Amino acid sequence: MADLSQEEWAKKVAEDNNSVVLDVRTQEEVELGMIPNALHIDIYKGQGFIDEVEELDKTKNYYVYCRSGARSGQACSVMSQLGFKNAFNLVGGFNEWEGEIASQ
């Protein structure tokens, strides 16, 4: 797992043709807007989160974010424990995101 700044994260996502953007916020937070083309799996689902993440392709590179960067850091740790090689945490999360925003 690596913590990436907004600039590093956005640059890597743009250049990575094997990337998946993963939003781990609550449904209520997602309804306020999300990073375009993100996959949403709420980390607060507990075992449900783990079950859904286990179904993801472990060969992809995951760019994970939440509201501030704390939950996404936890999600990256969980993903590493589950055998994901590349999970990148967005430092500052959606609160500091300056890129494009999509509505759900």
Residues labelled as active-site residues: 66
In the chain, the amino acid numbered 19 is S
Burial class (CB in 10 A: 0-12, 13-18, 19+), 49: middle
Which phi and psi angles does 11 have, rounded to 5°? -65, -45
Distance CA 93, CA 70 (A): 8
In the chain, the amino acid numbered 48 is G
